[in-house]
Amino acid sequence: MPEKGSLLARNATLRQLQVFESIARNQSFTKAAKELHLTQPTVSMQVKKLADVLQAPLFEQIGRKVYLTNAGLALYEAANAILAKLSIAEQKINHLKGFSGGNVKLSVISTAQYFVPKVIHEFTQAYPDVTVLMRVGNKENLLDRIAKNKDDFYLLGQPPEGLNVVSEPLAINPLAFVANAKHPLVGKELTIEDLKDEPFLMRETGSGIRAQVEKVFGEFDFQPSVKMVLGGNEAIRLGLLQNLGITVASVPTLMNEISRGEIAILKVKGFPVNRHWYLAYPTGKILSIAAEKLIELLKVEGKQLSEQAFAKL
C-alpha cells in the first residue's frame, strides 16, 4: 500500500506519468509530443511538474537525445507497471462489455484492405453497437503500432520478428507476375529470365509486399529492370491498367480486374509463390468478445479468399 503522505500519490497525475513514459521510451520530447498529439511545450511542462513534485531531475539531455537520471529510472519502472496494469484493466472491462458498445481497433497492411472491409461491413450489420476502427499502413507502420500496443490485432504479410506476439496464418496470398491483359507476353510459357528486360513496377521501400518480392527475387537470383517505384497497391493497379510495365502482385488484390479480363497472370515457371496474410496480436493481449468475433469472421473470409485465389491460377 502506498503511504498516505506519498508526494506522487497526492500530486502526480496519470497524464504526467504517460508523458514521462513516452519521453523515456522514445528518448525524445519531440517524438513523445507527436505520439501523444500534444505540443512540445505541453510535454515539457508536464514533466517539469513531475520533477518539481519529486524535487529531482528526471532527464538529462546529451545532443538531441534525452536519457533517464537515476531518479528517472526508478520512476520509469513504476510508471511502466502502473500503465500496464491500467491497460490490462481496460482490456478486461472491454471484454466484459461484449457487444454492448465499445470498439475494435485493427491495423492491416495495404493488400488486406481489399477484403477486410467486406468482413467489417458484415460485422457491423450484425453488431451495430460496436465501432470498428481500421488503419491501413505498410509493414513499418504496423510493426511500430504493434510495438506500442496501439490496436487489438493486426494483419500482416509475414509474422513479426523480434516482437512478443501471437501470430497465425489467416489466408493464402499467392504472389504472381501480372501484366495488362494486352501485353504481348500474356499466354506464353515463360521463365523469370525472359522478364529481365521488361519494365517493372516496384512498390515503395518499407512495404511488406516489396520485402516479399525482393526475397523471392533473391531466391531466383533475379534483378528486375525497375521502371517506376509506386506508393501503394492502387498506384500499381493503375500502372498495370495503363500498360506501364509488369509486376509481382498479390493475386487476391487484383481479382476483379483479372475476372474482367483487364489484367492477366503471366505463366512464369516457379510462380505463383504462395505467401500468407497473418493475424497477430501481442502476447498476453486480452481480446474483447467483439474482437474475438471479428477475428472469427475474418478466418471464414480468409478460407474463402484462398479458395477463390487458387481458382484464378
Q: Is pLDDT at 4 greater than 60 in this prediction?
A: no
37 and 161 part of one domain: no
Residue 167's contacts (CB-CB under 8 Å, 6 or more residues apart) are 156, 159, 160, 278, 279, 280
d(CA 194, CA 189): 10
Domains: count for the chain: 3
Residue 15 lies in a domain: yes
d(CA 96, CA 21): 28
Q: What is the per-residue pLDDT for 185?
A: 96
102 and 177 part of one domain: no
Max mean pLDDT range (96-105, 114-123, 228-237):
114-123
C-alpha cell at 27: 528518448
Task: Write out pLDDT tens, residues 161-212.
Answer: 888 899 999 988 889 999 999 999 999 999 999 999 999 999 888 777 888 8
Q: Domain range spanning residue 135?
A: 98-170+276-312
Residue 121 lies in a domain: yes
Residue 1 lies in a domain: no
User: In angstroms, what CA-CA distances link 100 with 96, 121, 150, 281, 289?
Assistant: 9, 18, 22, 23, 10
Residue 205 lies in a domain: yes
Which has more pLDDT, 311 or 169?
169
132: pLDDT confidence band, cut at 50, 70 and 90?
Answer: very high
186 and 267 part of one domain: yes
Residue 18 lies in a domain: yes
Q: Residue 122 sits in a domain of what CATH number? A: 3.40.190.10
- The pTM (predicted TM-score) of the whole model is 0.63
Q: What is the per-residue pLDDT for 1?
A: 46
Residue 2 lies in a domain: no
Q: Residue 25 sits in a domain of what CATH number? A: 1.10.10.10
Q: Is pLDDT at 308 greater than 80 in this prediction?
A: no
